[in-house]
Amino acid sequence: MAAPRGAFSVLGDQGEIVGCGGVYRHDDRTAEIKRMLLDRTLRGLGTGKCLLSELKAVAHGMGCSGVVLDTNATLEEAIAMYVGYEPTDRYNENPYAELWFSKRIDDPQK
């Protein structure tokens, strides 16, 4: 997840790392959001949505017009954040993934 094909973002709060995530170019127009992690004490407060929004903005800044991501079906809190994402066909061989999503990000704030 290093430039030019990717980026890694760290979310901080008062000097402490509380979350992170990466973006990796999947193809010419699409980036994959990877490895979103968030401090458990901040879950349910909207912090994860902020991190997801930041990663979409990073993907948009890389010239991508869409993002994809995968997740495990047991991660209900994560899945709840993906409002506006469409279920999509499997696009990778991640052995832990059970669900795949995509979203256009012409406007990454949406």
DSSP of 6-52: EEEEEEEETTEEEEEEEEEE-SSSEEEEEEEEE-GGGTTTTHHHHHH
**Mean pLDDT across the chain, nearest whole number?**
91
Q: What is the pTM of this model?
A: 0.88
- Residue 110: pLDDT band (50, 70, 90) is low
Is residue 107 predicted with pLDDT exceeding 80? no
Cα–chain-centroid distance for residue 109? 13
Determine the Cα angle at 24 with ends 32 and 57, to 5°.
75
Domain architecture of the chain: domains with CATH: 6-104 (3.40.630.30)
pLDDT tens sequence across 44-90: 888 889 999 999 999 999 999 999 999 999 999 889 999 999 999 99
Residues 6+ apart with CB under 8 A from 39: 18, 19, 47
